[in-house]
Amino acid sequence: MKLRTARIIERLNALGEISDSKNCISRAYGTKAHTASGNLLIKWMQNISLQTYRDAIGNIRCILPSLNPNAKYFIIGSHYDTVFNAGKYDGPLGILLGLEVMQYISENNIQLPFHLSTIAFADEEGARYNTAYLGSSTISGHFDRCWLNRTDDHGVSLKEVLEANGGQVVNIDSDSIAREQLLGYFEPHIEQGPVLCNEDLSVCLVNGIASQTRVDVHWTGINGHAGTYPMNHRNDAFCAASEFSLAVEQIGKYNSDKLVATIGKLNIMPNTPNVIPGKVEHTLDIRSKDSSFLVEISRTLEDKAIEISKKRKIGLEWNILHSTPSVQCDEGLNQLIRNGMKKAGIHKTLEIPSGAGHDAVMISRIAPVSMLFIRCQEGISHNPLEYVTSEDIEKSLEVCDNFVHELIHQNS
């Protein structure tokens, strides 16, 4: 176990060295660093003789086949893209735990009653195109072709990036996996919150994932001279966006028992000290455990934006990028995780919902899903200070091994 844990840490560090920025970890979808980290994953998968390939969108997929050609697939997965200024563990830890489990099974010639696959999803964070789940949407057959025309902050389209990396748009549909072929999905992931630290536990079960809506909001006013244009006659797009951002905070705080709302990315144009901003584009990310409440709040916020746009005579575009209802993890798979935890000597089993989004959300559309959370120091994530101890990695590996062995046993 110690050697396998050390290998995971070595690989986390190796992936953490691959970044588009000299100063921090950044591997947004389709960048040089993103492609290089995918290549490294391919090398590791091939070194353990797994059938390995990169699909059109850039998911890195490997399979350890069952002797039964008609067997179903069981997938372990997580993502290899990152946010800007990321930590090393969000995404890669789940992939590397999957690879360790597969390597153990392969080296010990354990017969599989299902095809076991690990998928490193190409894009979960959506840092480049503001979308999320480009990778797992492809697998679940929910890739929206409109996304291909989306452009990044430099005007480069998703289609261009996909093709530059060797992907073919025509293959996206055939990269999906049919529901009938799937036994289930398991995603080990850092918790990204403080509960495990407070409970002094290495791991816990995830019982569900919150609903989430992401919106692209564009405000269009009129550029003007900052020194000459009178205050009462301006059409300042930034002031409209600012008024809206405070309304988002106010509505979020008022409903803080069941809502989080964030404007995390904003471009102000022309972004020049002496020009009244004529255009502002920003994201809106809202989440709730209660899917119907989230739909209601999304409408309330859109109405608020319309009201501000009319009052300030600023154009508004409201484009919902994705909207996913809350997800329930599968009770049958959960029971196998509980058994796996007990066998690993964990007798206090905690079960919590995830406020963060995960690829499991998209895969839940085609298969029963399950998740294991692993403690990260002080719950810090999306931050270079993200950290998981080697003891917790070892414990999570033990649970992952046990879980897959339980699954083999159940299906043999």
Q: Which residues bind Mn ion (CB under 5 A)?
A: 90-91
Cβ 49 to ligand GLV shortest distance, Å: 32
Cβ 228 to Mn ion shortest distance, Å: 45
Residues 238, 243, 249, 251: is their CA dihedral positive or negative?
negative
CA 391 to chain centre: 25
- 125 touches ligand GLV by CB under 6 A: yes
Please name the residue that has the structure tokens 């080296």: 107
Q: How many residues in the shown chain lie near ligand GLV by CB under 6 A? A: 3
357 binds, among Mn ion, ligand GLV, none (CB under 5 to 8 A by kind): ligand GLV
CA distance 339 to 353: 19
Cβ 62 to Mn ion shortest distance, Å: 20
Cβ 357 to ligand GLV shortest distance, Å: 4
91 binds, among Mn ion, ligand GLV, none (CB under 5 to 8 A by kind): Mn ion
CA distance 323 to 213: 4
Cβ 67 to ligand GLV shortest distance, Å: 37
- DSSP-based helix, strand, coil % in the chain, nearest 5: 40, 25, 35
Rule CB under 6 A: choose which of 92, 278, 357, 368 binds ligand GLV. Answer: 357
Helix (H, G, I), strand (E, B) or coil at 378: helix
Instruction: Indicate the residue whose CB is closest to Mn ion.
Output: 90
- 356 touches ligand GLV by CB under 6 A: yes
184 binds, among Mn ion, ligand GLV, none (CB under 5 to 8 A by kind): none
92 binds, among ligand GLV, Mn ion, none (CB under 5 to 8 A by kind): none
Helix axes 32-47, 92-107, angle to 10 degrees: 20
**φ and ψ of 189, to 5 deg:** -155, 150
- 175 touches ligand GLV by CB under 6 A: no
- The residue among 308 and 356 lying less far from ligand GLV, judged by its C-beta, is 356
Residues 6+ apart with CB under 8 A from 286: 212, 213, 215, 252, 259, 260, 261, 262, 294, 297, 298, 301
Q: Which residues bind ligand GLV (CB under 6 A)?
A: 125, 356-357
